[in-house]
Amino acid sequence: MSSTASKVALITGAGRRKGIGAAIARRLARDGVSVVLADLCAPPADHPLHPGGGQWAELQAIAEEIAARSGVKALPVQMDVTDPGSVAAVLETVTATFGRLDILVNNAGVVVGPAPVLQMDRSAWLRTIEVNLTGMFYVTQIVLPLLLQTAGRSGHGRIVNMSSLAATHPKPFLSAYAASKAGVIALTQSLAQEVAPAGITVNALLPGDIDTDFKQWGFQVESMVKGQELRAVVEAAIAQIPVGRIGTPEDVAAVAAFLCSEEADFITGQAIRITGGRELVQTELPSTMLPSNE
C-alpha cells in the first residue's frame, strides 16, 4: 500500500525465516516501509523438538534478503524485550539511523513448559508472562516517545500487538500462554484509548493455527503426548478449520499491513482473529485434565 511508503517499522521476534515477524517485515518492506528486525538471537533451546528463537546469522540473512528484494533499508538488531536497557539501546539505534518510527509490531513471544496448572513449573509461568506481556509493555513504553514524536509530524502512527486465538479460546495445558495473550488484548485496548488523540492506532492480531516452526513443534509435542502419528495430528487440526487448511505467516502479514496503512485510520482497539474460522468449530476436550494418582 503506497500510504506506508517512506515510513519506518520496528518488528520484534523477526528472526525466524518461516516466522510471522519475518513475514510482516517482508510485507511492509514490499509496501515501501523501511524495517528494523529485532530478535533475541539466543542459543538454541535444549528441547530436541523446540525450534528456539532466531539466530543472529538467520536474522541478518532475512534483513539482507528484504533489502535486496524491496529496495528499502532493512536493519537487523539484537534485542531482549524483557531487558529495558536492551530495548533502549535499540531505540537509540533507530533514532540515529532513521530519526523516526511510524510502526511498532510487537511480535516476540514464547511457549514455555506447557503443562497442567497442577504440574506447571512456576518458572515457566513467569517466563511466559515476562516475554509475552511484560516484554511487550517494556518495548511499547520505551519506543512510544519516538512514535508520538513522529505521529506529531505525520498524524499517523501504528502499533500492532500479537495476541493469539488462545486468548479467547484457551486449550488445556497452555494456561500461561493463554493468560499472557489475553493480557495483550487488555493492554491493546487500554493503550488504544490513550494514544488515539495523537493519531496512533493500536490493534491486536489473534492468529489461529499458522504454519510456523513453533506450530510444527506444537504438532510434534501433541503427537508424542497422544501417541498418534504426526500426520494424524495435523489432519485433525485441519478438520477443525472451516477453510480447510493451516494458515500461513503471509495470511497474518496481510492483515498487519492493512492495519499499518492509512486505510485503517478508523480501526483501533480491536482484537482481530486470523483463524480460517477455527473458533466456530466445537472442540472435544480430553477425558481428564488431571494427572493420574496411579
Mean pLDDT across 232-255 = 94
Task: Reply yes or no on whether 138 is catalytic.
Answer: no
**Domain for residue 237, yes or no?**
no
**Domain for residue 289, yes or no?**
no
**Domain for residue 61, yes or no?**
yes
pLDDT of residue 44: 58
Range of the domain at 272: 2-208+248-277
φ, ψ at 41 (rounded to 5°) = 55, 50
Mean pLDDT across 15-40 = 97
**Number of domains composing the chain:** 1
Query: Is the whole model's pTM more than 0.75, yes or no?
Result: yes
**Domain for residue 161, yes or no?**
yes
pLDDT of residue 106: 98
pLDDT of residue 160: 98
Distance from C-alpha of 24 to C-alpha of 293, rounded to nearest angstrom: 46
- Of 17-26, 93-102, 188-197, 285-294, least confident by mean pLDDT is 285-294
pLDDT digit string, tens, across residues 205-243: 999 999 998 888 778 877 887 788 889 888 888 999 999
Distance from C-alpha of 92 to C-alpha of 79, rounded to nearest angstrom: 12
**Domain for residue 255, yes or no?**
yes
pLDDT digit string, tens, across residues 159-200: 999 999 999 999 888 999 999 999 999 999 999 999 999 999
pLDDT digit string, tens, across residues 65-78: 999 999 999 999 99
**Domain for residue 77, yes or no?**
yes
Label residue 293 by pLDDT band (50, 70, 90).
very low
Distance from C-alpha of 266 to C-alpha of 291, rounded to nearest angstrom: 48
Q: What is the CATH number of the domain that holds 35?
A: 3.40.50.720
Element (H, E) at 274: strand 271-274
pLDDT of residue 51: 56
pLDDT of residue 215: 84
Mean pLDDT across 24-41 = 97
Active-site hit among 98, 173, 177, 219: 177
Look up residue 199 and give its DSSP letter. Answer: T
**Domain for residue 190, yes or no?**
yes
Cell numbers placing 146 = 519516538
**Domain for residue 7, yes or no?**
yes
